[in-house]
C-alpha cells in the first residue's frame, strides 16, 4: 500500500523564530551572510561562495544578463534562463563575463537621421535620457554625437526634426580612449564636470560609456561577487534533453556554475545529465540539480553527483503543479527534511552539499526561516521579477505600475523541457500561470532592505553567521489565530481614510 507521512506538511507562514540571547557583538554590521554555493569536502573550501544567500530563478521573466550583473554586484548569483537557444543563452553569459564594472555598453542608440519623435519614444521605452548617435545606429558604430534631454525642447521643436540638427556633435564632445582604466575615466568626469564620458577606439567606434552616477555605485559594491579575473560570477540553467549541445556552449561563454532546471528532479534523466557533464568536463564543472522535497530525493541526487540540490515543488507564486498534478509538499517541511538528509550525508561521507530553497517565499521573514531551517541559500522568482533589472515589461494598470511575470510551465513560456518525462517534445498542459506583480523599483534598494531584515533577525537569535543561525535558532509552529495576531489588528489604519 501507499506510504503515508504521519505529519502534515507546513509552509514558512506557519512558523516563527523565538529570540535567543543577543550579546553586545550581535549587531547587524557584524553579521556575515556568506554561504557555499557548491559542494566541498570537510576541511576544504567550496569552489564558489556567495556573499549573500540569494540566487535568481531560472525563468524567462527573471534572469537575463541585466539581472545577473545587478545581483552579482550585491553578492548573489543569477542563473540565466535556459528556455532559449544555446546560442542565445551563451550570448547572455558572455555579456555578463565581459561586462566591465562602470563601463556601460550603449543600448539606446540612434542615427543622425533619427527624429525627435523617435528619440522621445525610445526614452519612454528605456528610461534613458542620454543616447549615443552613431553613423549606423549600432552600439559600436562610429560616434558622431550625443543626445541628452538638454539638447532639445519638446514645446518648441517639431517631432520630425532629425537628430543631426540638435545633437551635441563629436567635435564638441570630451571623450577618451577605450583602454582607459575606470579611475582614469572617473578623474576625467570630475575634472570636466561631465555626466557621461564616451570611450572610443582608434577608429572612433564607440566602445563604452562611463557615467558619473555609477562612480558612487561602484564604491558601494563591497560584496560584489567576482572570479579570479575580476569578472562577475554567473550561472546558467540547462535541461535534460540538449545538454550535450548546450553545456559546451555555456562553458565556452564563461558560465561559472550550471543548474538543471526541472519541476521534479528525482529522475534517471537528471542522473544521466550529471554523469555526462562530470565525465566529459570533469568535477571542476559545478552542476546543481533538483527539485526534490524529501531526504530520499536528496540522497539520489547527491549520489548522482549534484553540486547543490534545489528543494521545492509547487510552492512558487506562479506554479500550479500541485493543483494540476497533486504532487508537492509544504516548503518548510520539505526544507527541514532535505536539510536533515544533507547533514546525515555530510557525517557519513565528509561531503557537504548545499541546499537551495526554491519557492514558498511570500514575506521577507520567510527567507530567514528558510535559512534557520537549514537552507544554504534561496532561489527567488517573484521577488526579483518586480525590479527594474528583470527582463519583462513595466505596464500601468488602473494607475498602478506592474511588471509582467509568468511561469516556465505557462503557455507563454512553453518550456516543455523543464517538465520533461521522456515523452513528446511538447507541453501537454500548463503547470504555471501568466500574471503581473507590483513594480518595486531597483534591485539594489529593495535587496538592501530584505538583507537588513535578515541580519537584524539573526541578531535577535544570537547569530552572526548562517551556520550559527542553524545551530542556535529556536523555531515554533503557530496557530491560525496567532498568525492573525502577528499583523496589525483591532485598529483602523490611517491610509484607509486617505489624505488631502
Catalytic sites, residue numbers: 319, 418
Torsion from C-alpha of 267, 273, 274, 276, nearest 10 degrees: 140
Answer yes or no: are the C-beta atoms of 173 and 199 closer than 8 Å.
Answer: no
| 468: exposed, middle or buried (Cβ count in 10 Å: 0-12, 13-18, 19+) | middle
Q: Which helix (H) or strand (E) holds 182?
A: helix 182-191
Helix ranges restricted to H, 236-330: 243-253, 268-281, 295-304, 321-325
**Cell, residue 89:** 543563452
Residue with cell 500550479: 320
The closest alpha carbon to 477, from 330, 311, 343, belongs to: 330
Q: How far apart are the first and last CA of the chain?
A: 66
**C-alpha angle 145-150-400 in degrees, rounded to nearest 5:** 110
**Other beta carbons within 10 Å of 16:** 17
Distance in angstroms (rounded) separating the CA atoms of residues 330 and 12: 8
- In the chain, the largest separation of any two C-alpha atoms, in whole Å, equals 82
Task: Measure the CA–CA gap between 261 and 353, rounded to whole angstroms.
Answer: 18
Reading the block at residue 322, the C-alpha cell is: 500541485
d(C-alpha 309, C-alpha 264), whole Å:
11
Query: 134's torsion region: left (phi>0), alpha (psi -120 to 50) or beta?
Result: beta
Q: Which residue's entry shows cell 524567462?
A: 60
Between the CA atoms of 27, 47, 90 and 133, what dihedral angle is there, to the nearest 10 degrees?
A: 50
Residues 6+ apart with CB under 8 A from 8: 330, 333
DSSP string covering 86-118: HHHHHHHHHHHHHPBTTBBPP-SEE-TT-BHHH
Place of cell 537549514: 374
CB within 8 Å of 6: residues ≥ 6 apart? none
Amino acid at each position: 500500500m501507499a506510504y503515508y507521512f504521519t505529519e502534515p506538511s507546513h509552509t514558512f507562514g506557519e512558523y516563527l523564530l523565538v529570540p535567543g540571547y543577543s550579546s553586545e557583538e550581535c549587531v547587524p554590521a557584524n553579521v556575515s551572510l556568506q554561504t557555499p554555493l557548491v559542494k566541498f569536502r570537510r576541511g576544504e573550501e567550496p569552489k564558489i561562495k556567495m556573499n549573500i544567500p540569494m540566487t535568481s530563478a531560472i525563468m524567462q521573466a527573471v534572469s537575463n544578463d541585466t539581472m545577473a550583473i545587478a545581483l552579482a554586484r550585491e553578492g548573489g548569483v543569477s542563473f540565466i534562463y535556459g528556455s532559449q537557444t544555446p546560442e542565445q543563452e551563451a550570448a547572455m553569459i558572455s555579456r555578463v563575463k565581459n561586462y566591465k564594472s562602470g563601463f556601460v555598453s550603449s543600448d539606446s542608440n540612434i542615427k543622425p537621421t533619427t527624429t525627435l519623435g523617435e528619440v522621445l519614444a525610445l526614452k519612454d521605452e528605456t528610461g534613458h535620457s542620454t543616447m549615443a548617435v552613431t553613423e549606423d545606429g549600432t552600439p559600436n558604430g562610429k560616434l558622431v554625437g550625443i543626445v541628452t534631454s538638454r539638447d532639445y525642447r519638446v514645446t518648441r521643436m517639431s517631432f520630425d526634426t532629425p537628430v543631426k540638427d540638435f545633437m551635441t556633435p563629436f567635435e564638441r564632445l570630451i571623450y577618451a580612449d577605450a583602454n582607459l582604466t575606470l579611475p582614469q575615466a572617473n578623474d576625467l568626469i570630475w575634472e570636466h564636470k561631465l555626466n557621461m564620458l564616451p570611450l572610443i577606439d582608434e577608429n572612433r567606434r564607440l566602445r563604452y560609456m562611463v557615467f558619473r552616477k555609477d562612480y558612487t555605485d561602484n564604491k558601494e559594491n563591497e560584496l560584489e561577487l567576482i572570479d579570479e579575473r575580476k569578472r562577475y560570477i554567473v550561472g546558467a540553467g540547462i535541461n535534460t534533453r540538449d545538454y550535450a549541445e548546450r553545456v559546451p556552449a555555456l562553458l565556452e561563454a564563461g558560465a561559472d556554475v550550471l543548474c538543471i532546471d526541472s519541476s521534479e528532479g528525482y529522475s534517471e534523466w537528471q542522473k544521466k545529465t550529471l554523469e555526462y557533464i562530470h565525465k566529459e568536463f570533469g568535477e571542476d564543472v559545478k552542476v546543481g540539480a533538483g527539485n526534490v522535497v524529501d531526504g530520499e530525493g536528496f540522497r539520489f541526487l547527491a549520489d548522482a553527483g549534484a553540486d547543490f540540490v534545489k528543494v521545492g515543488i509547487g510552492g512558487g507564486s506562479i506554479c500550479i503543479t500541485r493543483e494540476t498534478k497533486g504532487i508537492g509538499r509544504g516548503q518548510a517541511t520539505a526544507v527541514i527534511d532535505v536539510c536533515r538528509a544533507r547533514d546525515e550525508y555530510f557525517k557519513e561521507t565528509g561531503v557537504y552539499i548545499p541546499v537551495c530553497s526554491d519557492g514558498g517565499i511570500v514575506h521577507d521573514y520567510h527567507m530567514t526561516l528558510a535559512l534557520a531551517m537549514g537552507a544554504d541559500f534561496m532561489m527567488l522568482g517573484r521577488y526579483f521579477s518586480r525590479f527594474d533589472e528583470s527582463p519583462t515589461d513595466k505596464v500601468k494598470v488602473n494607475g498602478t505600475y506592474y511588471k509582467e511575470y509568468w511561469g516556465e510551465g505557462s503557455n507563454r513560456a512553453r518550456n516543455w523541457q523543464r517538465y520533461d518525462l521522456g515523452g513528446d517534445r511538447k507541453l501537454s498542459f500548463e503547470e504555471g500561470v501568466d500574471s503581473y506583480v507590483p513594480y518595486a523599483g531597483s534591485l539594489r534598494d529593495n535587496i538592501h532592505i530584505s538583507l537588513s531584515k535578515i541580519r537584524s533577525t539573526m541578531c535577535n537569535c544570537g547569530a552572526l553567521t548562517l551556520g550559527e543561525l542553524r545551530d542556535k535558532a529556536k523555531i515554533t509552529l503557530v496557530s491560525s489565530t496567532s498568525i492573525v495576531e502577528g499583523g496589525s489588528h483591532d485598529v483602523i489604519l490611517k491610509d484607509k481614510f486617505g489624505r488631502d
